[in-house]
A and B are shown apart, each in its own frame.
Chain A
Amino acid sequence: EAEVAQSPRYKITEKSQAVAFWCDPISGHATLYWYRQILGQGPELLVQFQDESVVDDSQLPKDRFSAERLKGVDSTLKIQPAELGDSAMYLCASRLRGGGNEQFFGPGTRLTVL
């Protein structure tokens, strides 16, 4: 069964360091989402791609966060510099173009900033 892949699964870093997360969506899924989920809360959308284009990054803290999906397939989310408040689960999800309402989520990357 096709799944969304993410790596690393866990990341511990010190504040002011740079971190990067990788996501490989289900093959053929044109839409890719990055969410941040703070413990005990619902996922919050950070950025959304349609193919290689950003279609919504209104909630992305652009002074420190960046995201790219250069070839419209896999994607990287970067934080530089990391802050204590960035500790959270970072989830990637994908959706088939015209494929209904279901988003398929990856296992996430648990980030701890010390």
Chain B
Amino acid sequence: GQSLEQPSEVTAVEGAIVQINCTYQTSGFYGLSWYQQHDGGAPTFLSYNALDGLEETGRFSSFLSRSDSYGYLLLQELQMKDSASYFCALSHGGATNKLIFGTGTLLAVQP
């Protein structure tokens, strides 16, 4: 089967940098995606890593290491609005791009 593990909660202060880790088990996948979900809201796409290494999108960066079955999302210059749940997801690509989501990490940004 496939599974993804994330820390359940992370707390950080405004302006700081925080890293949310994701470890996974799978027999094969195309890439690792990250989604943000505010309380009561819809998940929104943040980032995708098809290859090993770092992808940067504004204040957010995502990293993938296939050899270590590990990835992370890095959030810089934290803002109060970044308080949300963050999910990593294995992407199976192809025509249908099936996603298998992780357990989610609740990020609380404090003033």
Taking Cβ atoms with an 8 Å cutoff, the residues of A that contact B are 4, 31, 33, 40-45, 48, 50, 55-56, 91, 93, 95, 97-98, 100-108
Contact B43 A56 (CB under 8 A): no
B83 interfacial by beta-carbon distance below 8 Å: no
B86-111, CB < 8 A from A: 87, 89, 91, 93, 95-104
Residues of B within 8 A of A (CB): 4, 31, 33, 41-45, 48, 50, 87, 89, 91, 93, 95-104
Closest to B31 in A: A101
Complex CA–CA separation, A1 to B33 (angstroms): 23
A100 to B98, CA, bound (A): 12
Residues in chain A near residue B42, CB distance under 8 A: 4, 91, 105-108
For B4, B95, B100, the residue with the greatest tally of chain A CB atoms inside 10 Å of its CB is B95
Q: Which of A42, A48, A95 has the most CB of B within 10 A?
A: A42
In the bound complex, CA of A34 to CA of B89 (Å): 16
Beta-carbon nearest neighbor of B30 in chain A: A101
B-side contacts of A43, CB under 8 Å: 43, 87, 99, 101
| A to B CB contacts below 8 Å, 16 in the list | A31-B96, A41-B103, A41-B104, A42-B87, A43-B43, A43-B101, A44-B101, A45-B98, A50-B96, A55-B95, A56-B96, A98-B95, A101-B31, A101-B48, A102-B45, A103-B97
Chain B nearest Cβ from A77, distance in angstroms: 16
- Residues of chain B lying within 8 A (CB to CB) of residue A40: 104
